Amino acid sequence: MSVKGKNILLGISGGIGSFKACELLRLFVKAEAHVRVVMTEAAQHFITPLTFQSLGAEEVSLDVFDPKPYSLEHVAWSDWANILVIAPCTANVIGKLANGIADEVLSTQAIAYAGPILIAPAMNVKMYNNKAVQRNITYLKSTGVHFIGPETGALASLITASGRMSEPGTIFARARQILLGRNDLKGQHVVVSAGPTREPLDPVRYISNYSSGKMGYALADAASAFGAEVTLVSGPVELAPPPGVNVVRVETALQMQDEIDKACAGADYLFMAAAVADFRPASYQKQKIKRSGESLNLTLQANPDILKSLQKNRPRKVIGFALEVENLEARAHDKLRDKRLDMIVANNPSEEGIGFGSDFNRITIIPRGGKTVRTERLPKYELAIKIIEEAINLSHAQPVPQIQPGAPGRHVPQIQRGRARGGRTYKRRP
Ligand SMILES: Cc1cc2nc3c(=O)[nH]c(=O)nc-3n(C[C@H](O)[C@H](O)[C@H](O)COP(=O)(O)O)c2cc1C
């Protein structure tokens, strides 16, 4: 389930962090949610209702006694909403919610609301540390109200302390996670790679491919919605970073290998969705290559196979992607074995209206030792959720297969004697 089509009630109270609620509203609107805004009177000293209307709020409510149709039924919005997000939430509003006080429009809607509530407190550190405020927060948490932040950082008073409202992206990601209702990946570290790599020829030219990065970004976004801490190692793409995700930007395959290796230390999952260039120019020309003659010969050199090269930092579950235009499933099975993956996601980019650059795809998910799942054409975010569900369901009991020296389609070790992963000793075939 995504945020698309969901009804978001965004409450704004009178704190200096209220300007950040504009960005939060934009994130919900961009995700195609319906947003209604409820502002306290104090909030209107900091920011105007017009700002939220202009940014895409469908309605803005300011007064319990407002004679507009919605407000006649002063708690009607609380039946409409799928989630109530209060950001920023003042000490005052926290106190009212904890004590059942409904003396203006936000607290009235909130107290009448039976669905999930997410509060992003923001206040001066002395207010935040106040015993009554802390008691109110503890009480609300015990009733199932979700809290995010506050963060430690520079407050309005310019001192660095706890009390700063969480960033809009982080609040959005948490709200989406609450709406998804899944927390399976909480406490787990997921690494996702996305996009193409660029292999430079000279200061102005490079070799690359058509990968848009959309599938990898959707995976990072969805993993975050499942509660994971996500590192997205991204090649050059035109996409906004998914909210709440740590993005590491790279250009070349070698940089990607390096950053993935670092990110995978202690990670639980790797989703290798990047379209890493198989080859790079054997030499980089420091000066722009001049046009001369009718042809130019380029010598290319193989890039490392990042999945095969994962050694000591190999995450618990490694998921690869196969892009094939022929014999899709047979080749995906080969790749699954060859690269000792736990699961592979295969797709054919030559099908009309899916794949590269598109927001849609049709995929085949092949878990090692499990049942193959073939999807219909779906938005990439929906597919990302399916892929993550399948990855979560992968049996922990399935051991990673050992390399069989000389077996067809498998890596043949170049040394006389050595140790395969898992400690098995093998001999090279004569
Ligand atoms: C400049 C300024 C900044 C304020 N910032 C905050 C804040 O970040 N958090 C907070 O709890 N109160 C803050 N206050 C105090 C609240 O605005 C005040 O308690 C108000 O009554 C809250 O009303 P409300 O909860 O109905 O929005 C601030 C007041 C001023 C004048």
Question: According to the model, what pLDDT value does residue 396 have?
Answer: 57
**Annotation marks residue 348 as catalytic:** no
What is the CA(76)–ligand 1 centre distance, in A? 26
Domain contains 365: yes
Same domain, residue pair 175 and 193:
no
In this structure, are 73 and 208 located in the same domain?
no
The pLDDT of residue 68? 61
Measuring from atom 5 of ligand 1, which residue has the nearest CA?
Answer: 15
Site to substitute for ligand 1 among 10, 12, 16, most atoms within 8 A of C-beta: 16
Same domain, 22 and 96: yes
Q: Is 21 touching ligand 1 by the criterion CB < 6 Å?
A: no
In the prediction, which pLDDT does 408 show?
A: 40
In a domain, 422, yes or no: no
How many whole angstroms from its chain centre is CA 233?
Answer: 11
Tell me the CATH number at 277.
3.40.50.10300
DSSP string, 291-356: P-SS-----EEEPP-HHHH--TT--SEEEEEEE-SSSHHHHHHHHHHHTT-SEEEEE-TTSTT-ST
The per-residue pLDDT for 78 is 79
CA 53 – ligand 1 centroid, Å: 22
Q: Are 345 and 363 in contact (CB under 8 A)?
A: yes
Tokens 């006694």, residue?
Answer: 65
pLDDT digits (tens, 9 = 90+) for 106-152: 999 999 999 999 999 999 999 999 999 999 999 999 999 999 999 88
- Which atom of ligand 1 lies at the shortest distance from residue 165's CA? 8
pLDDT in tens, 8-23: 999 999 998 999 999 9
User: Would residue 404 count as lying in a domain?
Assistant: no
Q: Is residue 425 part of a domain?
A: no
What per-residue confidence (pLDDT) applies to 357? 72
Same domain, 172 and 305: no
Handedness of CA 87, 91, 97, 98 (dihedral sign): positive
Q: Are residues 105 and 163 in the same domain?
A: yes
Torsion of CA 178, 1, 375, 392, to 10 degrees: 10
What residue owns the CA closest to ligand 1's atom 16?
Answer: 14
φ/ψ of 8, rounded to 5, equals: -110, 125
Name the domain count of the chain.
2
Task: Look up the CATH number of the domain holding residue 62.
Answer: 3.40.50.1950
Q: What angle do CA 329, 330, 332 make, to 5 degrees?
A: 60
Whether residue 426 is contained in a domain is answered as no
Ligand 1 contacts CB of residue 90 (under 6 A): yes
Report the nearest atom of ligand 1 relative to the CA of 127.
Answer: 11
Mutate which of 20, 44, 92 for ligand 1 pocket (most atoms within 8 A of beta carbon): 92
Q: Which three-class secondary structure state does DSSP give residue 119?
A: strand
Judgement on whether residues 117 and 193 belong to the same structural domain of the protein: no
Q: What is the pLDDT of residue 76?
A: 74
15, 138: one domain: yes
> What does the angle CA 397 – CA 269 – CA 280 come to, to the nearest 5 degrees?
125
Which residue, by CA, sits nearest to atom 14 of ligand 1?
A: 15
Could you tell me if the CB of 89 is within 6 A of ligand 1? no
The residue annotated as part of the active site, out of 209, 246, 313, 348, is: 209
pLDDT of residue 405: 45
Residues 263, 355, single domain; the answer is yes
Q: Indicate whether residue 150 lines ligand 1 (CB < 6 A).
A: no
Q: Give the C-alpha separation, 347 to 343, whole Å.
A: 14
Residue 408 near residue 395 (C-beta atoms within 8 A): no
Contacts of 202 (CB under 8 A, 6+ apart): 284, 285, 286, 287, 288, 289
Alpha-carbon gap, residue 89 to 361, rounded angstroms: 40
In angstroms, what is the span from residue 14 Cα to ligand 1's centroid? 4
The pTM (predicted TM-score) of the whole model is 0.70
26: which 2 tokens?
A: 């934009």
Whether 266 and 373 map to the same domain: the answer is: yes
How many whole angstroms separate alpha carbon 149 and alpha carbon 335?
43
The per-residue pLDDT for 421 is 29
CA angle, 345 then 351 then 352, to 5°: 135
Flag whether 420 is in a domain: no
- Supply the range of the domain harboring residue 20: 7-180
Digits of tens for pLDDT over the chain (430 positions)? 578 899 999 999 999 899 999 999 999 999 999 999 999 999 999 999 999 999 999 999 888 776 564 545 566 787 899 999 999 999 999 999 999 999 999 999 999 999 999 999 999 999 999 999 999 999 999 999 999 999 887 766 667 777 899 999 999 989 988 998 888 999 999 999 999 999 999 999 999 999 999 999 999 999 998 999 999 999 999 998 888 899 999 999 999 999 999 999 999 999 999 999 999 999 999 999 998 889 999 999 999 999 999 888 899 999 999 988 889 899 999 999 999 999 999 988 777 766 677 888 899 999 998 899 999 988 898 899 999 999 999 975 455 555 444 444 333 333 222 233 232 222 333 3
406, part of any domain:
no
96 and 116 both lie in a single domain: yes
Our answer on whether the CB atom of 108 is closer than 6 Å to any ligand 1 atom is no
Same structural domain, 118 and 203: no
Q: How far apart are CA 422 and CA 418, in angstroms?
A: 12
Residue 166 lies in a domain: yes
Matching residue, tokens 């193989």: 302
Q: Please state the atom number of ligand 1 nearest to the C-alpha of residue 17.
A: 8
